[in-house]
């Protein structure tokens, strides 16, 4: 949640343009208000900080009067806020400033001890104008500066007093420096020959550079003549080589597509192949760790949890191996099971999900091994892990997980086959599935799903059932539908219907049935008939049409790769439902791409 960007340049770039571009790029993280602060430093006037804040979306920002008021600047910070402390108002939007407007701060996360700090600062004469926890940060930094501490030391003292997870960027008018720090929330610095950047995510400045330095927790970075890095606890200066991002700016753009969601769905014919194209030696190494571990735990949230649940079936069927699957938010309750030779495999697209990072911290206290599956290079999860397996999905901008979900399934399928000593067979099966994916993007197939979306968009409830491998697929299908269309959708195991859920079926209630041609086929058709007998409208997702189905979505005949092949049509359908209902597929309400607060 929340987007952050800071810029200090010596090129011809205007900080206002750079920051606005960065904030628009970070819109996928979710926000309800936004703001920017830039340093005005013309030779004829004393330096000053100009601020613009607003509630709602940034849009195209065509208000030239306001933009002109900000002028031209070589330095500034910006923020998109998702309210936690204080209502959604201009006053509570970031940046938050000191009374004399000499210090501006943007902040992602929560200052857990802000009430204590606020009272302490008020006793020393500081006045507060907002309801936010963030406002304690500029005042605290100002307090230490006025005590005569050097700037980096004042920042270090400030951050040492903050409790909770945060990413903070400070603009100091007096020194004309930008200082930033992180603890538990993402932050990355970037640079080119003339300009310096800091942001909560790489796409914010990918247009200008691919050279980046990923910050570790409790690190302070100073943007001045270059990038300086310090350890917050010790105050010692640190040195680190930069990484080079492999994504191109074009990959992070919509191009000719109306939305990122449909672009990223269609990119799956490439992303699935990239996920298959892994280092065999590394796959076998992780498979060996799974085989020899004292308990293997797959940990995920949302779609990643559904991928992990699918993996538990794959490992059972392919490798005769038991896998524990735990929700990230619930994992700390399982730490009593962990040993030094337990293996934890957290799965995350962003690598910044707060619940996943907490799970890893809990596991590390038990000295368990961490082998993560992640998409974003340099993410917090990647740096906390003993080893990392990159899923290679490429940048995923839409809030909904689509191509990263199928990439996770590919990696997990490879690991299951590798654990059975059949890696090459697994690769061949996955490549065969990848060849089928392009069929989903033929115009006639899309038109069929668009027609179905128009048929069911008027209903308030949708149900999805599956068995075995396709029970987690049913959960994922329901999640995709409800998070982008806002239609209530629920996924169930087919066998659980008569244990209560069938009471919800009414006349014409849309019910998706995953019916692969495997050992579950006849049982799931019996479940579908139970629904149809009570008036449900049956939508069969199956290689074979059946008279029970009121509508048939054809999919290829396959077995262990059916979770990959069966979910993509539902992703497309969910997209068409959202468009039909006037929703924004890329930025569903109340959701954010990276859930970085608990």
The verdict on whether omega for the bond into residue 447 sits within 30 degrees of 0, i.e. cis, is no
In a 3-state reduction of DSSP, which class is residue 560? coil
Model pLDDT, residue 346: 96
Based on the fold, state whether residues 81 and 195 are members of the same structural domain: yes
Q: What CATH number does the domain containing 127 carry?
A: 3.60.20.10
Based on the fold, state whether residues 223 and 319 are members of the same structural domain: no
In a domain, 592, yes or no: no
Range of the domain at 264: 254-441
In a domain, 125, yes or no: yes
Based on the fold, state whether residues 177 and 271 are members of the same structural domain: no
Model pLDDT, residue 371: 95
Quick one: CA torsion of 352, 356, 357, 362, rounded to 10 degrees? 180
Give me the number of domains the chain comprises: 3
Q: Which of 217, 252, 287 is the last residue of a domain?
A: 252
Model pLDDT, residue 547: 95
Based on the fold, state whether residues 551 and 505 are members of the same structural domain: yes
Measured CA to CA, the distance from residue 529 to residue 541 in angstroms comes to 14
Model pLDDT, residue 558: 85
The encoded tokens of residue 306 equal 């559904």
Based on the fold, state whether residues 178 and 63 are members of the same structural domain: yes
pLDDT (tens digit per residue) in 250-309: 566 777 889 999 999 999 989 999 999 988 999 999 999 998 898 999 999 999 999 999
For 81-134, where are the alpha helices, taking DSSP H only? Answer: 114-123
φ and ψ of 341, to 5 deg = -100, 20
In a domain, 495, yes or no: yes
Model pLDDT, residue 64: 44
Is residue 517 within 8 A of residue 544, CB to CB? The reply is yes
582 torsion bin: left (phi>0), alpha (psi -120 to 50), beta (else): left
The arrangement of strands across the sheet holding 96-97 comes to 96-97, 103-109, 166-172, 177-183, 219-223, 227-231, 237-238
Q: What CATH number does the domain containing 285 carry?
A: 3.40.50.10490
90 catalytic, yes or no?
Answer: no
Residue 218, CB half-sphere, CA atoms under 13 Å: how many?
Answer: 11
Measured CA to CA, the distance from residue 277 to residue 391 in angstroms comes to 10
Based on the fold, state whether residues 116 and 231 are members of the same structural domain: yes
Is residue 587 within 8 A of residue 28, CB to CB? The reply is yes
Based on the fold, state whether residues 246 and 301 are members of the same structural domain: no
Measured CA to CA, the distance from residue 252 to residue 223 in angstroms comes to 25
Based on the fold, state whether residues 96 and 220 are members of the same structural domain: yes
Is residue 228 within 8 A of residue 189, CB to CB? The reply is no
Based on the fold, state whether residues 248 and 260 are members of the same structural domain: no
In a domain, 107, yes or no: yes
Is residue 484 within 8 A of residue 576, CB to CB? The reply is no
Q: Which of 220, 252, 284 is the last residue of a domain?
A: 252
Model pLDDT, residue 383: 86
398 catalytic, yes or no?
Answer: no
Is residue 191 within 8 A of residue 202, CB to CB? The reply is no
In a domain, 43, yes or no: yes
Based on the fold, state whether residues 398 and 468 are members of the same structural domain: no
Q: Whole-prediction pTM value?
A: 0.78
Based on the fold, state whether residues 482 and 560 are members of the same structural domain: yes
Model pLDDT, residue 587: 86
Measured CA to CA, the distance from residue 296 to residue 344 in angstroms comes to 6
Based on the fold, state whether residues 451 and 362 are members of the same structural domain: no
Q: Which of 415, 441, 467 is the last residue of a domain?
A: 441
In a domain, 323, yes or no: yes
Give the closest residue to 79 by CA, choosing from 127, 8, 146, 27: 27
In a domain, 598, yes or no: no
Measured CA to CA, the distance from residue 306 to residue 150 in angstroms comes to 50
Stretches where the chain sits below pLDDT 50 are: 60, 64-65
**Hey, which residues does 214 pair with through a beta bridge?**
188
* From 2, 301, 398, 511, the catalytic residue: 2
Model pLDDT, residue 540: 97
* From 24, 177, 480, 593, the catalytic residue: 593
In a 3-state reduction of DSSP, which class is residue 503? helix
In a domain, 372, yes or no: yes
Model pLDDT, residue 65: 46
pLDDT (tens digit per residue) in 448-504: 999 999 999 999 999 999 999 999 999 999 999 999 999 999 999 988 877 877 777
Burial 560-591 (b: 16+ CB within 10 A, else e): bbbbbbbbbbbbbbbbbbbbbeebbbbbbeeb
């Amino acid at each position: 949640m929340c987007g952050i960007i800071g810029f200090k340049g010596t090129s011809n770039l205007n900080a206002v343009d750079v920051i606005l571009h960065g904030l628009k790029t970070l819109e996928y993280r979710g926000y309800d208000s936004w703001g920017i602060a830039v340093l005005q430093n013309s030779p004829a006037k004393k330096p000053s900080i100009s601020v613009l804040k607003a509630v709602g979306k940034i849009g195209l920002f065509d208000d030239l009067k306001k933009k002109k008021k900000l002028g031209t600047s070589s330095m500034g910070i910006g923020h998109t806020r998702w309210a936690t402390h204080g209502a959604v108002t201009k006053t509570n939007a970031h940046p938050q400033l000191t009374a004399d407007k000499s210090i501006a701060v943007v902040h992602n996360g929560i200052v857990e001890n802000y009430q204590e700090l606020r009272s302490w600062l008020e006793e020393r004469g500081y006045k507060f104008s907002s309801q936010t926890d963030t406002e304690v940060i500029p005042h605290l930094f100002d307090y230490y500066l006025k005590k005569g501490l050097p700037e980096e030391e004042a920042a270090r003292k400030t951050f040492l007093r903050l409790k909770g997870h945060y990413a903070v960027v400070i603009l100091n008018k007096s020194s004309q420096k930008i200082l930033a720090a992180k603890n538990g929330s993402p932050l990355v610095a970037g640079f080119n020959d003339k300009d310096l950047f800091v942001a909560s995510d790489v796409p914010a400045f990918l247009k200008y550079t691919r050279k980046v330095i990923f910050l570790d927790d409790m690190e302070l970075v100073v943007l001045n003549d270059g990038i300086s890095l310090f350890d917050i606890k010790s105050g010692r200066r640190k040195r680190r080589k930069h990484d080079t991002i492999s994504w191109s700016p074009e990959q992070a753009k919509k191009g000719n597509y109306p939305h990122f969601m449909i672009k990223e769905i269609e990119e799956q014919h490439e992303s699935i192949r990239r996920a298959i194209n892994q280092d065999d030696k590394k796959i076998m190494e992780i498979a060996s760790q799974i085989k020899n571990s004292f308990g293997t735990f797959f940990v995920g949230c949302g779609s990643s949890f559904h991928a992990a649940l699918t993996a538990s079936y794959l490992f059972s069927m392919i490798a005769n191996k038991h896998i524990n699957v735990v929700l990230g938010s619930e994992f700390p309750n399982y730490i009593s099971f962990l040993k030094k030779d337990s293996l934890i495999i957290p799965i995350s697209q962003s690598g910044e999900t707060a619940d996943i990072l907490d799970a890893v911290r809990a596991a590390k206290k038990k000295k368990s091994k961490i082998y993560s599956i992640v998409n974003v290079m340099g993410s917090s999860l990647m740096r906390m892990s003993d080893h990392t397996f990159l899923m290679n999905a490429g940048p995923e901008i839409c809030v909904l997980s689509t191509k990263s979900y199928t990439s996770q399934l590919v990696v997990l399928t490879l690991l299951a086959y590798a654990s059975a000593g059949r890696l090459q067979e697994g690769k061949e099966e996955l490549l065969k599935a990848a060849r089928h994916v392009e069929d989903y993007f033929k115009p006639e197939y899309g038109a069929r799903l668009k027609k179905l979306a128009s048929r069911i968009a008027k209903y308030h409830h949708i149900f999805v059932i599956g068995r075995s491998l396709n029970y987690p697929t049913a959960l994922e299908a329901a999640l995709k539908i409800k998070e982008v269309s806002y239609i209530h959708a629920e996924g169930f195991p087919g066998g659980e219907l008569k244990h209560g859920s069938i009471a919800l079926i009414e006349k014409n209630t849309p019910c998706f049935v995953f019916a692969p041609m495997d050992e579950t086929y006849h049982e799931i058709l019996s479940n579908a008939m139970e629904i149809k007998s009570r008036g449900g409208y049956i939508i069969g997702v199956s290689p074979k049409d059946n008279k029970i189905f009121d509508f048939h979505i054809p999919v290829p005949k396959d077995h262990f790769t059916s979770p990959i092949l069966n979910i993509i049509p539902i992703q497309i359908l969910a997209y068409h439902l959202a468009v039909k209902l006037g929703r924004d597929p890329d930025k569903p309400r109340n959701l954010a791409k990276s859930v970085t607060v608990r």
